[in-house]
Amino acid sequence: MQTEIILAKYGELALKGLNRNTFEDILMKNIKRRLKPLGKFTYTRAQSTIYIEPETPDIDLDVVMDNMKKIFGIAALCKACVCEKDLADISKVGIPYLEEILLGVKTFKVEAKRADKQFPLKSPEICRELGGQILEAYPHLQVDVKHPDVTVMVEIREKHAFVHAGNEKGAGGLPVGSSGKALLLLSGGIDSPVAGYRMSRRGVHISAIHYVSPPYTSDRAQEKVEQLCQKLTAYCGSIAFFCVPFTEIQEEIKKNCPEPYFTIIMRRLMVEIAQKIAAKDDCSALITGESIGQVASQTMESMQAINAVTCTPVIRPVVTMDKLEIIDLAQKIDTFDISIQPFEDCCTIFAPDRPKTNPKIKNVEQYERRMDVVVLVERAVAGIMVTEIT
């Protein structure tokens, strides 16, 4: 019986400047965690590739592939069949293995990679031999070396040879956890989940913080954000979710500050709370879904006023993207349909008709002095609920 396995390749480029072993260890750990619910596998690694072999025949490798395409740090991946390292076995096992694919196309070429230079045939000879045998087995096919419908790959590796029909693109980026941790300000909107996804792709493990204002916001609004977190875990791994009671702060702002300043002052208080959680949760940065000019409150002046409350870097991964680009990504990572559910967010409810687009820090601080910010922040922090979303 033929053995089918998955090869996950991380390539040399991604390893630049990183400790190779740490990178591989983290990636391996992430893959194992993701595949655990799908069955038992044997993992081996060699030559910038992780080999994943199912231990039982009931495992659906297509499902495994779909899961693996969401794991950051994998540049390319494919299903392959395992052959002995001789040409007779490669054609005996490999040619029937590719039957379904080869019957569905008109042209092909063979490419060989010889990681084991001891193998008696050189790459062009392997291609010629195997190409001839494929033509015999599937007479409807023609060879096209420039634009083949399918490229049959033969990889001669350390212990075995592998035959497959070319690599598929992986999620790229760096393995989550290889670049530290940051805290995502996650609203129920379209932008912040995408911001979290983009940050994770750089290897950053994320926690999420969300502000609720019951009874102005409903439980459904919070559930929606938890669902967004859940979606993100497919890419980002487990996420610590901090839920902050924000009603008192919103009401105080409303009572004490001029309406055009509501949004900016609210955002500054969010960031003050977030930086305290970041410090406790080992997060070295905050992440938001702000994008320049997207709404009146998202200007460089307001970002300046927001940054002024913290020394923790505030990273805005979607800052230069326009809405359509963000929506495209939100659809790709499957958060869009959740984000557009119409549950009120704490920002929408207290949103001023005309937010101040160029808030002066001096004025903002003056209005904030009308409230006991320290006590308000302390109380909000004390009321935070944490859940681990996996």
What are the residues binding Mg ion (CB under 5 A)? 187, 189
Q: Which is nearer to ligand ATP, 48 or 284 (CB)?
A: 284
Q: Does 211 bind ligand ATP (CB under 6 A)?
A: yes
Question: In this chain, which stretch among 36-44, 85-93, 287-295, 368-376 interacts with ligand ATP, using CB under 6 A?
Answer: 287-295
Rounded Cα–Cα distance for residues 278 and 183 (Å) = 6
Q: Which of 200, 288, 299, 302 binds ligand ATP (CB under 6 A)?
A: 288
Q: For 285, phi and psi rounded to 5 degrees?
A: -155, 160
Could you tell me which of 355, 376, 324 has the C-alpha nearest to residue 261?
Answer: 355
Bridge partners of residue 374, in order along the sequence = none
Q: Which is nearer to ligand ATP, 7 or 185 (CB)?
A: 185
Q: Which of 157, 210, 224, 268 binds ligand ATP (CB under 6 A)?
A: 210
Residue 289 interaction partner, one of ligand ATP, Mg ion, none, beta carbon < 5-8 Å per kind: ligand ATP
Residue 288 interaction partner, one of Mg ion, ligand ATP, none, beta carbon < 5-8 Å per kind: ligand ATP
DSSP 8-state assignment for residue 343: P
Q: Does 290 bind ligand ATP (CB under 6 A)?
A: yes
Q: Which is nearer to ligand ATP, 157 or 268 (CB)?
A: 268
- Sheet containing strand 314-315, strands side by side: 314-315, 286-287, 181-185, 205-212, 239-245, 385-389
Residue 95 interaction partner, one of Mg ion, ligand ATP, none, beta carbon < 5-8 Å per kind: none
Question: In this chain, which stretch among 7-15, 82-90, 131-139, 290-298 interacts with ligand ATP, using CB under 6 A?
Answer: 290-298
Q: Does 297 bind ligand ATP (CB under 6 A)?
A: yes
Rounded Cα–Cα distance for residues 333 and 228 (Å) = 10
Question: In this chain, which stretch among 32-40, 63-71, 122-130, 292-300 interacts with ligand ATP, using CB under 6 A?
Answer: 292-300
Question: In this chain, which stretch among 79-87, 250-258, 340-348, 367-375 interacts with ligand ATP, using CB under 6 A?
Answer: 340-348
Q: For 142, phi and psi rounded to 5 degrees?
A: -125, 155
68-71, long-range: CB < 8 A, 24+ apart: 68/6, 68/8, 68/31, 68/34, 68/35, 68/170, 69/168, 69/169, 69/170, 69/171, 70/34, 70/171, 70/234, 70/235, 71/8, 71/27, 71/30, 71/31, 71/34, 71/170, 71/171, 71/175, 71/235
Rounded Cα–Cα distance for residues 255 and 294 (Å) = 27
Q: Does 186 bind ligand ATP (CB under 6 A)?
A: yes
Binding footprint of ligand ATP, residue count (CB under 6 A): 19
In this structure, the strands spanning 205-212 and 181-185 are: parallel
Residue 240 interaction partner, one of Mg ion, ligand ATP, none, beta carbon < 5-8 Å per kind: none
Q: How far is the CB of 309 from ligand ATP (least distance, A)?
A: 14
Rounded (10°) CA dihedral 61, 67, 70, 74: -40
Residue 363 interaction partner, one of Mg ion, ligand ATP, none, beta carbon < 5-8 Å per kind: none
- Could you list the residues that contact ligand ATP (CB under 6 A)? 185-187, 189-192, 210-211, 288-290, 294-295, 297-298, 345-347
